[in-house]
Amino acid sequence: MSYPGNTAAARGLALCHVCHRLDPAELHECSRCGSALHLRKADSLQRALALLFTAVILYIPANVLPIMTTLQLGKGEPSTILGGVVLLIKLGSYPIAGVIFIASVMVPIAKLIALFYLVWNGYRSEPASPAQCTQIYRLTELIGKWSMVDVFVVAILVALIHLTGLLVILPGPAAVAFAGVVVSTMLAANSFDTRLIWDRIKDNND
């Protein structure tokens, strides 16, 4: 594979992903920490795409199956994510309902679309603006750090409502599927090598 002339890869140098030391790629191991060196992540686009499809598959049961079951006066009522949002609105918990809706519905969809767009650009012969793609990737990484917020909110909500003794909320199987969506998208973002975005840019000095 050829690399633009103004990159370290074109000069046979590889960056250690652990300690960020720059070493000759022929060493295969970082001279500082001993981690494996590679010019580009192996099968980056393929692995990212496989993880994204996994996330899409898991997203279906995450929204179809109940994410929590509400027990009131001995009667149980399972709720999906959207059903739980509606329930929280009826209970007057508008901030919690808003957080769960944004983090459970809007954020995962936006993250999946963004990552699919990046992978698609990786396969294109003429990709979009590298600077724009890099900004999109950084945004998905930033969102990824907060992807489990709604899961923690549900957990806290379960604990708080248990204390009241009037209403009991139990987590459902959709919580596991949603956690799988979060993990899959995080792994997909980590598998995607952003340097691929810049590899097709011609060296301005050539």
CATH code, domain carrying 76? 1.20.140
Same domain, 89 and 109: yes
Residue 204: its pLDDT value, please? 40
Q: Is residue 171 part of a domain?
A: yes
- What average pLDDT does the chain have? 78
Q: Is residue 128 part of a domain?
A: yes
Q: Is residue 204 part of a domain?
A: no
Same domain, 27 and 91: no
Q: Is residue 183 part of a domain?
A: yes
Residue labelled with tokens 């990737």: 137
Same domain, 86 and 108: yes
Same domain, 94 and 141: yes
Same domain, 92 and 164: yes
Structural domain that includes position 47? 43-198
Q: How many CB atoms lie within 10 A of CB 54?
A: 17
Within the chain, which residues score under 70 in pLDDT? 1-7, 9-10, 70, 72-76, 125-127, 144-169, 200-206
Residue labelled with tokens 């459970």: 104
Residue labelled with tokens 């003794």: 165
Same domain, 17 and 86: no
Residue labelled with tokens 């598998």: 191
Report DSSP state, residue 11. Answer: G
Spatial distance between the Cα atoms of 39 and 6, rounded to a whole number of angstroms = 14
Q: Is residue 94 part of a domain?
A: yes
What is the separation of C-alpha 135 from the centre of its chain, rounded to a whole number of angstroms? 15
Give pTM, 2 decimals.
0.74
Same domain, 6 and 61: no
Alpha helices by DSSP H, listed for 33-148, are 44-64, 81-90, 94-101, 107-123, 130-144
Same domain, 84 and 185: yes
Longest dimension (CA), the chain: 76
Same domain, 30 and 54: no
Q: Is residue 206 part of a domain?
A: no
Same domain, 114 and 13: no
pLDDT tens track for 34-45: 888 777 777 888
Same domain, 158 and 60: yes
User: How many domains does the structure of the chain reveal?
Assistant: 2
Report DSSP state, residue 23. Answer: E
Tell me the C-alpha to C-alpha distance, in Å, between residue 56 and each of 14, 91, 179, 199. 33, 31, 12, 28
Q: Are 25 and 15 in contact (CB under 8 A)?
A: no
Residue 203: its pLDDT value, please? 42
Q: How many CB atoms lie within 10 A of CB 165?
A: 7
Residue 206: its pLDDT value, please? 43
- What SS3 state is found at 155? helix
What percent of the chain is predicted at pLDDT more than 70?
Answer: 74
Same domain, 4 and 56: no
Q: Is residue 84 part of a domain?
A: yes
Q: Is residue 192 part of a domain?
A: yes
Residue 55: its pLDDT value, please? 93
